[in-house]
Chains A and B, each alone.
Chain A
Amino acid sequence: MRRILFIVPIVLFLAVVTYFFVAMRGGYNPSVVPSAMVGKPVPAFDLPGPPSPPNYAGPPVKLGFTNRDMLGRVVVVNFFASWCVPCRVEHPVLMGLGPSANVPVVGIAYKDKGQDAIGFLNEYGNPYVAIALDESGRTGIDFGVYGVPETYVVDKQGIIRLRHVGPLTAESVAREILPVVRALQVQP
């Protein structure tokens, strides 16, 4: 009986290593995680906005939105949070995404407070045409978010077409996001 206790560490370790190995084989890329949600409609949500818009020069920003607001055009949905470090890294890329692809980018502040999220956008700039607050993280779970930042491309019918995990880079935008966005934009 006592001996079994001593075998526990190696058994646990083998499980971890097997997982790492499986994860690394087959050209594993952590940022393109297949999601059960790709090909499915956007989960229904109706989220409030932050108390005030970011004080940033530009067109007015919609505060709070629902899944129905996104119908009729291709939309990029970005989950972010003021407490998230990689979000700061991807932010400059996100700032350029909307104008360069002529696509509306909407932001959902994930498990974040309204003031904090706006403070973040005030300092780094606002890439979003609409901002919503997901304070409880409920909508994030419905989307299948497992950490911020995460980015989704949604088509005109409201179907999720692409999921990107982790910070966007100039390269990943050019290689993954833009081709999908352009292809969807020309579809009815």
Chain B
Amino acid sequence: MIIELGHFALMLALPLALIQAAVPLWGAHRRHAGMMALADLTALAQFALIALAFATLMNAYVTSDFSVLNVAENSSSAKPLLYKITGLWGNHEGSMLLWVLILTLFGAAVAWFGDNLPPALKARVLSVQAMIGAGFFLFILFTSDPFQRLANPPLDGNGLNPILQDPGLAFHPPMLYLGYVGFSVAFSFAVAALLEGRVDAAWARWVRPWTLAAWCALTVGIAMGSWWAYYTLGWGGWWFWDPVENASFMPWLVGTALLHSAIVVEKRDALKTWTVLLAILAFSLSLVGTFLVRSGVLTSVHAFALDPRRGVFILVLLAVAIGGSLILYAVRAPALQGGGLFAPVSREGALVLNNLLLATGAATVFLGTLYPLFLDAVGGPKLSVGYPFFDRTFVPLMVPLLLAVSVGPFLAWKRGDLRGALQRLWIAFGLAVLVGAIALYVTQGGPILAVGGLMLAAWVGLGAITEWIERTKLNWRRAIHLPRAAHGMTLAHLGLAVTVTGIAGSAWQTERIVVMKPGDNLSIGGYTLHLDRIGQSDTPSYHAERADISVSADGKAVAAMHPEKRTYPLEQMTRGETAIRTTLLADLYLALGDNDGKGGATIRAYWKPLVPWIWIGAVFMALGGVLSLSDRRFRIGVARRRAPAGAAVEPGE
């Protein structure tokens, strides 16, 4: 009975969304306050209804109610509670429900916190948000109903894909969706601005916090996915340029560009049409990502089950949402008034360079992901892509970006002094060269490109620190009074430097792959590994083969490590469980391979210097975003209280 309640709540949300899509828009056109204000109410009600629907499905998962088809297919009673909960979004239908939950959450947040928005803009934003919502409600109700009952419930469910039974991947989708769907707010703002025919500094100030929030979540989500791949796939790789990874990386690149270009709109009233386009593209790429994963157009490990009907439905949604907004853009954007002019060498110029490189990077990834299919469609010559393609096209694009990151913040608005900026960075430059020289000396003939990467990372990090020192003059009081957004930028750029350091450092990894018998020793990265025994263990979910390895350094025991190989009988799958010991400076990474049938087993041991920095850097970036988000000029209500002081803050309707 409870599950039907959830189904009913979802059905009820659809007409609400349709009302919200139409009435406030008409109200904004007619300047009718009541019709515009209706959007607040429906947005909150939609969220309440979807939250109820979500809660009923969650209840079915937690109580293992196998009379619900979705639960029977994706859960089983023997799973730990955590994986019963996360099983909800480990499948297509449930994950779509999570998608709309987050969508309506953002809609409700705009309604709740948006008191300082001009009423017409707010009404239009919420109306666009409801159009997206209505599309997805229809999609769920007609093609992906998670509330379907089974006439003859099975005694136990089919279980959850073992790959998903992992704490790292359990919370990867929600973070990713927060990011994807968060861009829907920037999208709605962009479409609303096109409808109104006006983009100004205030608009940028409203868009930026939403974009920042989405970007932070997406950063964490992507980092979690990459970290998961690192410790699960037993190979120690952390990025595979898999179509589904690319699908989340493209919105991130465009979102990063949007964050930076919105600054130009806010401070200098320039780059408006470009920023609006980026806002549309960031969400469009999120939708394309959703489409790619679910339609089966591309094959990938992560993909959900194929269903052409769903694919066509999402494609139509995609065509209406993206096509509609781009047509609107083609018609209305040329009329947007351009603002301040600037010289090529200036803060604006540096941000344009950043945008061009990031957008080109996103386009490269897009091409690399879809090009093989396009070529095949037009019967062209076959071309192979993969790791090698992206290494050769994407990485070179990022080099000038990293070079410019340090210089940009030193350039003045309107017209900058490049020579002066470089002079202020000479210490950073000198130290970066020193880092390179030390790396060359210490590693002795290692990969030369990695030394270059390390120097770039040092340049970015030291540049960020130099800029921070110049601003604060190392004076505590000065630092406190600096806007938090400035500290946020420093932290995020430092995070970028840390991540690049990790990527460069991973080139120096060493590996040993040997068949070991109990009692054998293996040395790697200054450690000695001793295989004590190879044993078996059983849990309700899986059967495990497990190696007990004691690790010592300089004769002293430092750790006991237990790589495993798990077999899941219900799901008929095998996956490795790696053992990782990290010092934060380097990882010792062990994976258990095949049993040779003679009492020994293959052990893959890696020593991976600096690799943990890849994810530490991502956390820094996200924290920088959060710090910037807490800046007082974004904080709720501030703009409104200040409104009488200046028309620029909130232009009256």
Which residues of A come within 8 Å of B, CB atoms? 2-3, 6-7, 9-10, 13-14, 16-17, 19-24, 27-31, 33, 55-57, 81-86, 88-89, 92, 110-111, 119-120, 122-125, 137, 140-141, 144-148, 165-167
| Chain B residues, Cβ within 8 Å of A29 | 296, 306
Report yes or no: B315 in contact with A146, Cβ–Cβ below 8 A: no
Complex: how many Å from CA A30 to CA B333? Answer: 38
Complex: how many Å from CA A124 to CA B247? Answer: 28
Interface residue from B240, B318, B373, B513 paired with A23 (Cβ < 8 Å): B373
| Chain B residues, Cβ within 8 Å of A166 | 299
Task: State the Cβ distance, B257 to closest chain A Cβ, in Å.
Answer: 15
Within 8 A of A (CB), among B366-386: 370, 372-377, 382-386
Task: State the Cβ distance, B350 to closest chain A Cβ, in Å.
Answer: 23
Interface residue from B233, B277, B295, B315 paired with A17 (Cβ < 8 Å): B315
Complex: how many Å from CA A82 to CA B593? Answer: 15
B91 at the interface (CB under 8 A from A): no
Complex: how many Å from CA A120 to CA B591? Answer: 12
B625 at the interface (CB under 8 A from A): no
Task: State the Cβ distance, B483 to closest chain A Cβ, in Å.
Answer: 34
Within 8 A of A (CB), among B333-385: 333-334, 370, 372-377, 382-385
Q: A82-B235, A145-B382 are in contact. List 20 more A-B contacts (CB 8 A).
A: A3-B334, A9-B330, A14-B323, A21-B315, A23-B297, A27-B308, A55-B515, A55-B602, A57-B596, A81-B386, A83-B387, A85-B233, A85-B301, A111-B384, A111-B387, A146-B384, A147-B372, A147-B384, A147-B386, A165-B299
Report yes or no: A6 in contact with B329, Cβ–Cβ below 8 A: yes
Interface residue from B375, B376, B513, B598 paired with A123 (Cβ < 8 Å): B513
| Chain A residues, Cβ within 8 Å of B315 | 17, 20-21, 24
Report yes or no: B386 in contact with A17, Cβ–Cβ below 8 A: no
Within 8 A of A (CB), among B581-611: 591, 593-594, 596-598, 602, 604
Report yes or no: B574 in contact with A30, Cβ–Cβ below 8 A: no
**Can you give 13 A-B contacts (C-beta < 8 A)?**
A3-B330, A19-B374, A19-B377, A20-B297, A27-B308, A30-B299, A56-B594, A81-B387, A84-B240, A123-B593, A125-B594, A146-B382, A148-B386
Report yes or no: A92 in contact with B334, Cβ–Cβ below 8 A: no
Report yes or no: A123 in contact with B329, Cβ–Cβ below 8 A: no
Complex: how many Å from CA A167 to CA B362? Answer: 26
| Chain A residues, Cβ within 8 Å of B591 | 123
Complex: how many Å from CA A187 to CA B414? Answer: 77
Complex: how many Å from CA A30 to CA B295? Answer: 10
B388 at the interface (CB under 8 A from A): yes
Interface residue from B273, B334, B372 paired with A146 (Cβ < 8 Å): B372
B22 at the interface (CB under 8 A from A): no
**How many A-B residue pairs lie within 8 Å, measured between CB atoms?**
143
| Chain A residues, Cβ within 8 Å of B308 | 24, 27-28
Complex: how many Å from CA A111 to CA B240? Answer: 14
Which residues of B come within 8 Å of A, CB atoms? 229, 233-235, 237, 240, 242, 273, 277, 280-281, 284, 291, 295-301, 306, 308, 311-312, 315, 318-319, 322-323, 326-327, 329-330, 333-334, 370, 372-377, 382-388, 511, 513, 515, 574, 591, 593-594, 596-598, 602, 604
| Chain A residues, Cβ within 8 Å of B594 | 56, 122-125
Interface residue from B306, B326, B593 paired with A124 (Cβ < 8 Å): B593
| Chain B residues, Cβ within 8 Å of A31 | 299
* Minimal Cβ-Cβ distance residue in A for B377: A19
Task: State the Cβ distance, A185 to closest chain B Cβ, in Å.
Answer: 28
Complex: how many Å from CA A20 to CA B375? Answer: 13
| Chain B residues, Cβ within 8 Å of A27 | 308
Task: State the Cβ distance, B511 to closest chain A Cβ, in Å.
Answer: 7
Report yes or no: B240 in contact with A85, Cβ–Cβ below 8 A: yes
Complex: how many Å from CA A140 to CA B381? Answer: 12
Task: State the Cβ distance, B396 to closest chain A Cβ, in Å.
Answer: 18
Provided the pairs A13-B322, A123-B591, A140-B384 are in contact, do residues A83 and B372 lie with their beta carbons within 8 angstroms?
Answer: no
Report yes or no: A6 in contact with B384, Cβ–Cβ below 8 A: no
Complex: how many Å from CA A145 to CA B299? Answer: 14
Report yes or no: B596 in contact with A17, Cβ–Cβ below 8 A: no
* Minimal Cβ-Cβ distance residue in B for A10: B326
Complex: how many Å from CA A65 to CA B234? Answer: 29
Report yes or no: A145 in contact with B297, Cβ–Cβ below 8 A: no
Closest 4 CB pairs of A and B: A166-B299, A10-B326, A123-B593, A146-B372
Report yes or no: A84 in contact with B386, Cβ–Cβ below 8 A: yes
Task: State the Cβ distance, A77 to closest chain B Cβ, in Å.
Answer: 15
Task: State the Cβ distance, A24 to closest chain B Cβ, in Å.
Answer: 5
Interface residue from B296, B385, B386, B596 paired with A30 (Cβ < 8 Å): B296
Complex: how many Å from CA A150 to CA B634? Answer: 51
Report yes or no: A88 in contact with B233, Cβ–Cβ below 8 A: yes
* Minimal Cβ-Cβ distance residue in B for A82: B235
Complex: how many Å from CA A175 to CA B291? Answer: 27
Complex: how many Å from CA A19 to CA B334? Answer: 28
| Chain A residues, Cβ within 8 Å of B334 | 2-3, 6
Report yes or no: A13 in contact with B385, Cβ–Cβ below 8 A: no
Complex: how many Å from CA A92 to CA B242? Answer: 20
| Chain A residues, Cβ within 8 Å of B300 | 86
Complex: how many Å from CA A11 to CA B235? Answer: 42
Task: State the Cβ distance, A133 to closest chain B Cβ, in Å.
Answer: 14
Complex: how many Å from CA A14 to CA B324? Answer: 11
Task: State the Cβ distance, B374 to closest chain A Cβ, in Å.
Answer: 6
| Chain A residues, Cβ within 8 Å of B326 | 9-10, 13
| Chain B residues, Cβ within 8 Å of A88 | 233, 235, 301
Complex: how many Å from CA A17 to CA B233? Answer: 34
Report yes or no: B596 in contact with A122, Cβ–Cβ below 8 A: no
Task: State the Cβ distance, B583 to closest chain A Cβ, in Å.
Answer: 24
* Minimal Cβ-Cβ distance residue in A for B311: A24
Complex: how many Å from CA A27 to CA B374? Answer: 17
Provided the pairs A6-B333, A23-B297, A86-B301 are in contact, do residues A122 and B593 lie with their beta carbons within 8 angstroms?
Answer: yes
| Chain B residues, Cβ within 8 Å of A10 | 323, 326-327, 329-330
| Chain A residues, Cβ within 8 Å of B386 | 81, 83-84, 111, 147-148
Report yes or no: B330 in contact with A86, Cβ–Cβ below 8 A: no
* Minimal Cβ-Cβ distance residue in B for A33: B376
Complex: how many Å from CA A21 to CA B313? Answer: 11
Complex: how many Å from CA A15 to CA B374? Answer: 10
Task: State the Cβ distance, A45 to closest chain B Cβ, in Å.
Answer: 15
Complex: how many Å from CA A82 to CA B597? Answer: 24
Complex: how many Å from CA A10 to CA B385? Answer: 27
| Chain B residues, Cβ within 8 Å of A167 | 299, 301
* Minimal Cβ-Cβ distance residue in A for B318: A17
Provided the pairs A30-B298, A31-B299 are in contact, do residues A17 and B237 lie with their beta carbons within 8 angstroms?
Answer: no
Report yes or no: A146 in contact with B385, Cβ–Cβ below 8 A: yes
Report yes or no: A145 in contact with B384, Cβ–Cβ below 8 A: yes
Provided the pairs A55-B602, A57-B597, A92-B574 are in contact, do residues A30 and B297 lie with their beta carbons within 8 angstroms?
Answer: yes
| Chain B residues, Cβ within 8 Å of A85 | 229, 233, 240, 242, 301
Report yes or no: A13 in contact with B376, Cβ–Cβ below 8 A: no
Task: State the Cβ distance, A84 to closest chain B Cβ, in Å.
Answer: 7
Task: State the Cβ distance, B334 to closest chain A Cβ, in Å.
Answer: 5
* Minimal Cβ-Cβ distance residue in A for B388: A111
Complex: how many Å from CA A83 to CA B4? Answer: 46
| Chain A residues, Cβ within 8 Å of B296 | 29-30
Complex: how many Å from CA A31 to CA B299? Answer: 7
Complex: how many Å from CA A122 to CA B604? Answer: 9
| Chain A residues, Cβ within 8 Å of B382 | 141, 144-146
